Structure 1
Amino acid sequence: MGHEVSVVRAGVLDIAYERRGSRQGWPVVLLHGFPYSPRCYDGVVPSLVAAGADVVVPYLRGYGGTRFVDAATLRSGQQAALAHDLHELIAALGLRRPIVGGFDWGGRGACLVAALWPDSVSGLVTVGGYNVQDIPGAVNPAAPEQECAHWYQFYLHGERGRRGLQRYRREFAQLLWRQWSPRWTFTEDEFAATAESFDNPDFVDVVVHSYRHRYALVDGDPAYAAAETRIASKPVIPVPTVVLDAAHDGLGARPVTGHHDDYFTRLVDHRVVDGGHGLPQENPAAFAEAVLLLAGR
C-alpha cells in the first residue's frame, strides 16, 4: 500500500508528513521515535480516522523526506529542536489545538510542546511518561544494568560509532528493535518499510548529535538555547494526558510509582499495556484507545 506524502515549510525544515481523514475532523499529530518512521502508526490511524480525526504523521528531522531548508543549519537532534519542529508544524498546517502523541523521540517532542506551549494542544498521549531529558543530571551514572541497555548511546559518542551507524544503519536499527521489543516478531518487510526512512542524508548527523547532546558532550543549536533553559527547570505538563507504559520494553524498567503524578497536573489515565518499546506498532489498539479517550470518543 502506498502512502501519500506532502511537504510543508515549518521553521528550519521542509517537513514531510502523511495525512489521513477529514480536514474538518478533530486534529491529531502522531510522532515516531528513533529508529522508527510513520509506519509505526499504520495500525493506529484507521481507528482514529473512523472516529472522525484528521491525523497528521510527520517524518522527524533526519528521516524520510524531511529536509533542512539551509545547508548551514546545525543538524541538531536535541530535545528542544524536536519541540520546536512540532510546534512549528502545528502552526504551518493551521491545526487548532491537536491532540499530540508519541514515544521515544516523538514522545519527547510531544511532552515538550505540551509543557512549553500548552495552549497549542488539547491533549497528550505519551509512552513512558515524562520523556524529558535531564541533561545536567546525565553526569550521574545509573545502575549497571540500565547503563548496559544504553550501549548504543555510548557507542555514538565516538567517531567509530558515527562510522558504524553510517555503514550499518539498517543493521543497527534492526538490532535495537530486537532488543527493545523482545516479544515482537516483526517481518523483514515490516522492517524494510521503516528502514527506507534512514536513507535521509541528515540521519546520521542528527542521531549522533542527539546522543551526544543529551550527555552535554556537544553544544546545542543556539537558536534553541532559551527553550533548553526552560526545559532544564523540568516544567510540569498541564494538559489532559494519558500515559502508556509498555509492559515488555527491553530498553528499561517502567518509571517508579509516583513519577507520573510529579509531572502531569491533569493525568487522565495511566495504563500498563502489552508491548515493547515500539508500542504503537506492536499494540496499535491500545494507543488508539488512549487517543480516543482524550478525544471523548
Structure 2
Amino acid sequence: MQPKTVATEILDIAYLDYGAPDGWPCILGHGFPYDVHAYAETAPVIAQAGARVLVPWLRGYGPTRFRSPSALRSGEQAALGADLLAFMDALGIERAVVGGYDWGGRAACVVSALYPERVVGLVSGNSYNIQNIARAMEPASPPEEAALWYQYLFHNERGRRALERNRAGFARQLWTMWSPTWKFDDATFAKSAASFDNPDFVDVVIHSYRHRYALVAGDPAYAGIEQQLAAQPPIRVPTIAIDGDADGVNPGTAHHARKFEGFFERRVFRDAGHNLPQERPAEWAQAVLDLRKAAAA
C-alpha cells in the first residue's frame, strides 16, 4: 500500500488509508518506537466491517515531515493531540473512532478529553494516557523505575548521541523488553525501523522524554492545550481500555478507571506486551468494532 499525504499548518502528514472512502472514520495511532505497521493486520479487518481506517505516521516518523525548518521539533503530548485534530480537519472528518497505544494512544486521549464532540469513541492501550507533568518527579516503585531506564538516558546528551548513532538498536532493545512473549522476526522489525530514519526522529523523541519531566519548555503554540491537560481532565467518550498482561514497561492500568465517565470497559490481552495491535491484531480489531457498537447504543 502506498502512503498518502495531507498538509496541515505544521506538518505534511503521511498516512495509510484502508477501506472505502465513504466508510465510517477510524483513526489509529502508533507509539514509540513503532510505526504504522503496528496496524498492518488490524486495519484491514476493521475496514472489512465498513470502516475507513486511517493510520498516520506521527511527527518525526516515516514520511511525515515538518513544513518549516524553524518549527520546534516538539514531542510533547499537546503537540501529538493537536496533530491528530489537524489531521482530521485536513481530511474533513468531523467525528471518528480514535484509538492507539503509547504516543498514539496519548494523542487519542488528548482529543477525546478536550474535544469530545469530535470523537465517536476511544480504544486506548494503557487507558488514561495523559501525562501528569506536575507530578512527574514523584518516584514510582523500584521495578517501575527500572523499566523507565531509557527515559532517564534520554535526559542527557549521552542519551541523545546514543539514539542518534543506533536508532534501530535502541528500538529493538525496547521491543524485546516491552513485549517478552512476542516472537517478531527480522523482517517485521525492519519494516518499522525504516521509519526511525526520519530526520526529525531524534529531536522529537528527545524533546518528548524531557518535556514530560518538565526538563525543557514546550512549544508556545501548544501552551493552551498543555494548560488544560494539567487539570487531568476526565474522558467522557465511550471507551475500551486495553492492557497486555506481559507488558514490560507498563504494569497495568486498572486504577485508571476513575478517569473515565460514561461507558467504560477494560480488557486485558493474555500474554501480550506493549505493542498491543501488532501482537493481538484480531483482538484489537474486535475491540474497535465492539466500541463502535457500544457508542451507537
For residue 259 of structure 2, what is the aligned residue in structure 1?
A: 263
Give unpaired runs (5+ residues) of structure 2. none
Task: Kindly state the Cα deviation for residue 256 of structure 1 after the two structures are TM-superposed.
Answer: 4.2
Contact 1:249 1:277 in 2 (8 A): yes
For residue 193 of structure 2, what is the aligned residue in structure 1?
A: 195
Matching of residues 76-91 of structure 1 within 5 Å: 76-91=74-89
Give unpaired runs (5+ residues) of structure 1. none
Contact 1:11 1:85 in 2 (8 A): no
CA distance in 2, matches of 1:253, 1:160: 28
SS of the equivalent of 2:136 reads: helix
Matching of residues 1-297 of structure 1 within 5 Å: 3-257=1-255, 259-260=256-257, 262-274=258-270, 275-296=272-293
Deviation string 1:2-25 (CA, Å, 9 cap, x unpaired) is: x21011112311100010101111
Q: Which amino acid is 1:290 matched to?
A: A
Q: Which amino acid is 2:144 matched to?
A: Q
Give TM-score scaled by structure 1 length.
Answer: 0.97
Deviation string 1:31-85 (CA, Å, 9 cap, x unpaired) is: 0000000000011011111101001000000000000111111000000000000
SS of the equivalent of 2:87 reads: helix
CA distance in 1, matches of 2:63, 2:89: 20
The runs of 4+ residues in structure 1 deviating greater than 3 Å are none
CA distance in 1, matches of 2:86, 2:194: 25
Contact 1:29 1:100 in 2 (8 A): yes
Q: Which amino acid is 2:172 matched to?
A: Q
How many residues matched? 293
Q: Which amino acid is 1:93 matched to?
A: L
SS of the equivalent of 1:157 reads: coil
Contact 1:27 1:96 in 2 (8 A): no
Deviation string 1:88-120 (CA, Å, 9 cap, x unpaired) is: 001101113110000000000000000011101
SS of the equivalent of 2:7 reads: strand
Task: Kindly state the Cα deviation for residue 144 of structure 1 after the two structures are TM-superposed.
Answer: 1.4
CA distance in 2, matches of 1:23, 1:203: 30
CA distance in 2, matches of 1:12, 1:57: 18
CA distance in 2, matches of 1:20, 1:228: 32
